[in-house]
Amino acid sequence: MNRTPVISSNVASVGYGANTLTLEIKFKNGDIYQYFHVPETVYHELMRANSIGRFVNVKIRYNYRYVKT
């Protein structure tokens, strides 16, 4: 999945698969997580957030099933 680099102290890049509703986040420590069944609206909110790291922790981390790849 292609990811877009973002400005964040913890998140390096973010990708989204609209066909699969999969959000992929690469953290600056190198870890990559895929979150499933994430609505496209949530992805757009993430990309517009003032703090991407905070958005991930509050809106995504505990609300969607995920795997660490």
Q: What does the pLDDT look like over 44-54, one tens digit per residue?
A: 999 999 999 99
State how many domains the chain has: 1
- State pTM to two decimals: 0.95
pLDDT over 90 (residue 19): yes
pLDDT at res. 54: 97
Q: Which residue is associated with the tokens 């991407």?
A: 52
Range of the domain at 64: 4-68
| Buried b / exposed e along 1-28 (16+ C-beta atoms within 10 A) | eeeeebebeebbbbbbbeeebbbbbbee
Q: What does the pLDDT look like over 21-65, one tens digit per residue?
A: 999 999 999 999 999 999 999 999 999 999 999 999 999 999 999
